[in-house]
Chain A
């Protein structure tokens, strides 16, 4: 049984916009799955359909075997949703928001209060439990939405850009928290604009563009498809011009930074060997862009070129 099974899912909005054009994908139980795509690709529509916020036009959606057309109540009970937009009553205290959500899932108040303390403490919000949501910072509001989504301990947690607008420290603490949830058995679907987030956290990835899935595979398989990368070498001594490296395209960004384009299967030792012959010492090395970002851009550009 799949945690999520989507078959031939379509969505056409009233203004004749075809947001989803018959997508298929599956998420295995326990997976940490990335759903990526440019703005307007259909990610939020797909998530909206999974969580009953948007009605589908056609197709089949099953959550842990529960079809949303025939067994919606059971399907909903399996899902915890952290939406892209803030959707809480800003005038309500933090504790009430979380405990009320538990009530909507049929959880008794004593147990809801116990769980609320657990999750609000883990997400560092317990001290603010009596404060109205509007008084929280942006990062705290995001964490509150995660606590609210977890209060009924869902088997499938769907996060639609949960770290948007959150500073790097809080983003990393949220990554740690989500990784612990995933290790504890919660299946997680993540959409994000921070592609390093998907690369660091997710085991599988689907890339969606203009309502069509253009890639759906394990992250490692997808990254292996990357044919070309650009490395930035930091040089100990300043250079006036880019050294010529046989078989590699080079570009001197500034006197101490050299860009080298490499293709899949290239021998990096050849670069260092050639630089050593010219007495050029390298003190550090990094990717110009995140690997997934390069691949993502390549796939989307290829598709847009093929569509015309």
Chain B
């Protein structure tokens, strides 16, 4: 593999993705800002005051890490799935397919775009959260690494969705019927210790629970699960999903006849 060629290819893809996010800011930046502000007002401020504390933190503080992570997950996924499927739909994916740039670079370039948007929106939501509550970071390294790893996982998942998607409906099915329920049930708004034992066990099968809790541990220092276990699960997802995408592209699934 020609490293220089692929490095320039990666930079080109990342640059293109960043320009795309900024160009369509009304679709990429504004909606999560509005949604998260509403979450903080309704769940945090209005309802949260009646709930009191959770794991020793007031409810607004408790849900802030989950809401930040939720926006990172949604935006990382959404960026990659819409960008790559858009390229397939408009046939300009062929620009990449005919080039000597490797399939790994195509994946990494799109994932980098997903991370960039995920982080950008995550930072914006953090700033919004700071307008409602005080937050300090208990473990900066865990916070930062977990947000990056989670963003990678959902960017890769978005890529898988885009590879298989044939029409626009196909890119909204997974976010609507899988991603949103798993995120809501992934401990964003509550500690799983509040659930009956059976549902606690069921919740442990939800990977988003580990990501949200590890991130919450990074910020607040409290978690329902083992942090080491969370890293292991996220790493397995990163390696597994990257390998899956690479196999799919090498076989030409969704991009070659």
Which A residues have a C-beta under 8 Å from some C-beta of B? 13, 48, 51-55, 72-74, 76-77, 79, 81, 83, 85-91, 96, 100-108, 148
Question: Chain B contacts of A51 at CB under 8 A?
Answer: 98
Tell me which residues across on chain A come within 8 A of B2, comparing CB atoms. 73, 106
Cross-interface CB contact of A106 among B6, B87, B94, B98, cutoff 8 Å: B6
Query: Chain B 131-143 against A: per-residue CB contact (8 Å), 1 yes, 0 no?
Result: 0000000000000
Supply 23 A–B pairs (Cβ within 8 Å), ascending by A: A13-B257, A53-B97, A53-B257, A55-B257, A74-B100, A76-B98, A76-B99, A76-B100, A77-B100, A83-B94, A87-B94, A88-B95, A89-B86, A90-B90, A96-B19, A103-B15, A104-B12, A104-B96, A104-B99, A104-B101, A105-B101, A106-B100, A108-B8
Q: For residues 200 through 257 of chain B, which have their beta carbon under 8 Å from a beta carbon of chain A? A: 252, 256-257
In whole angstroms, what is the CA distance A101 to B9 when docked?
9
In the bound complex, residues from chain A placing their C-beta under 8 Å from that of B5 are 73, 105-106
Q: What total of A-B pairs shows CB separation below 8 Å?
A: 84
User: Chain B residue with minimal CB distance to A88?
Assistant: B92
Those 7 A-B pairs whose CB atoms lie nearest each other, nearest first: A103-B12, A106-B5, A104-B99, A87-B91, A76-B100, A73-B100, A77-B100
Q: Is the CB of A104 within 8 A of B90?
A: no
Say which residue of B94, B100, B101 sits within 8 Å of A53 (CB atoms): B94
For A53, the chain B residues whose CB sits under 8 A away are 94, 97-98, 256-257
Known contacts A52-B98, A106-B100; is-contact A87 B6 (Cβ 8 Å): no
Return B182 CB to nearest CB of chain A, in Å.
Answer: 32
Chain B contact residues (Cβ within 8 angstroms of A): what range? Answer: 20 to 34
* Residue in chain B with minimal CB distance to A80: B98
**A217–B91 alpha-carbon span in the complex (Å):** 34
For A90, what are the chain B residues with a Cβ–Cβ distance below 8 Å? 90
| CB <8 Å contact, A106 and B90 | no
Main secondary structure of the interface of B (DSSP, over half): helix
Are B8 and A101 in touch, CB under 8 angstroms?
no
Smallest distance from the beta carbon of A4 to chain B beta carbons, Å? 15
Q: How far is the CA of A51 from the CA of B100 in the complex (A)?
A: 10
Residues of B near A91 (CB, < 8 A) are: 23
Q: How distant is the Cα of A101 from the Cα of B95 in the complex, in angstroms?
A: 7
Residues of chain B within 8 A (CB-CB) of A52 are: 97-98, 256
Against A, the Cβ 8 Å flags (1 = close, 0 = not) of B1-21 are 110111011011101100100
B residues in contact with A89, CB < 8 Å: 86-87, 90, 92
If the complex has contacts A13-B257, A87-B90, are A104 and B19 also in contact, measured as CB distance less than 8 A? no
The residue that A100 contacts in the complex, of B12, B94, B252, B257, with Cβ under 8 A, is B12
Residue from the list B1, B11, B19, B23 in contact with A103, Cβ < 8 A: B11
- Would you give the shortest CB distance from B101 to chain A, in whole angstroms? 5
A259 to B157, CA, bound (A): 68
Is B183 positioned at the interface, with any CB of A under 8 Å from its CB?
Answer: no
Residue of A with least CB distance to B19: A96
Q: For the complex, what is the distance from the CA of A102 to the CA of B101, rounded to whole Å?
A: 11
Residue of B nearest to A54 (CB): B257
C-alpha spacing A106/B5, complex, angstroms: 4
Instruction: Give the residue name and chain of the A residue nearest to B86 (CB).
Output: A89
- A103 CB to closest chain B CB (Å) equals 3
CB distance from A228 to the nearest CB of B (A): 40
Inter-chain CA distance A159–B13, complex, in Å, is 25
A73 to B97 Cα, complex, angstroms: 11
Apart from A53-B97, A106-B5, A148-B95, what are 11 other A-B pairs with CB-CB below 8 Å? A53-B257, A54-B257, A55-B257, A76-B98, A89-B90, A103-B13, A103-B15, A104-B9, A105-B99, A106-B6, A108-B8
CA distance A79 to B94 in the complex (A): 13
